[in-house]
Amino acid sequence: MPTVIETLPPQEGMNMRVGLLRHFRVNKPLPKGRFISQSDLLQWFDETEEAEVEVSDVEMGDIEWQGCYSSDLPRALATAQHVHSGEIIPLSALREVRLDPLFKRNIRLPLLVWAVLTKFAFNTSHRSQEESPALLARRVEGVLDDILAEEQDVLIVSHGLIMLALKSELKRRGFTGPDFKTPLNAKLYVYET
């Protein structure tokens, strides 16, 4: 079943559209076991970067995307190649935020605890993390400066946390479009000026 496009009705004076698309679901099951070590979690993240994706239908509507930018990670590029027939420009600036080790010791915790801790560490700019929300916002601002300078309808294929930052920056720049807390895989979100 094709994924539904989430967009707003067209408004007068709109002249530029940006489509945000999260990559296809990755074919990599979560780590098994009641308790997971930090090294096992980090290894799982590394393996996810190279894992195959589950290709699915994406409802792209009738928009003819004049440009396509993608994270240079394999899961995003595979998605972009499936949905866009023209040139795809891979950018490392569209990569997902990298998880850095939280602890010096290789402790074992339940997966849910790891999820809470890693989100907390990023959101609070914990010293263990190389990238913070402020650095991510600057990275997204810079990449959008370059992409939007083309003044054409563009498709951006990326990752969950990056899409949240892209959505916020597009809205800050006056684009209108749907709101989401967690972007769905293979779902197109369209923003317009």
Convert the pLDDT of each residue in 90-120 to its tens digit.
Answer: 999 999 998 888 888 889 999 999 989 999 9
Give the single-character DSSP code of 102. Answer: S
pTM: 0.87
Would you tell me the crossing angle of helices 38-50 and 111-123 to the nearest 10 degrees? Answer: 80
Would you tell me the crossing angle of helices 133-148 and 160-172 to the nearest 10 degrees? Answer: 70
The CATH class of the 17-192 domain is alpha beta
The residue type found at 119 is K
- The C-alpha atoms of residue 22 and residue 44 are separated, in whole angstroms, by 20
Identify the CA nearest to 147 among candidates 36, 81, 66, 76: 66
HSE-CB at 43 with a 13 A cutoff on CA atoms is 8
Q: Domain residue spans in the chain? A: 17-192
The tokens describing 111, both together, are: 């997966």
pLDDT score of 1 more than 50 = no
- Alpha-carbon torsion 39, 122, 104, 36, what sign? negative
- The C-alpha atoms of residue 179 and residue 184 are separated, in whole angstroms, by 12
Convert the pLDDT of each residue in 40-51 to its tens digit.
Answer: 999 998 898 888
Give the residue ranges of DSSP H helices in the chain: 38-50, 74-83, 111-123, 133-148, 160-172
Convert the pLDDT of each residue in 119-164 to its tens digit.
Answer: 999 989 999 988 999 999 999 999 999 999 989 999 999 999 999 9
Cα angle: 124, vertex 126, 128; to 5 degrees: 155
Tell me if 44 sits within 8 A of 31, measured CB to CB. Answer: yes
- The C-alpha atoms of residue 42 and residue 151 are separated, in whole angstroms, by 39
Cα angle: 107, vertex 112, 115; to 5 degrees: 80
- Phi and psi dihedrals of 36, rounded to 5? -125, 135
pLDDT score of 76 more than 90 = yes
- Phi and psi dihedrals of 91, rounded to 5? -130, 130
When mean pLDDT is compared over 31-40, 96-105, 184-193, the highest value belongs to 184-193
The residue type found at 152 is Q
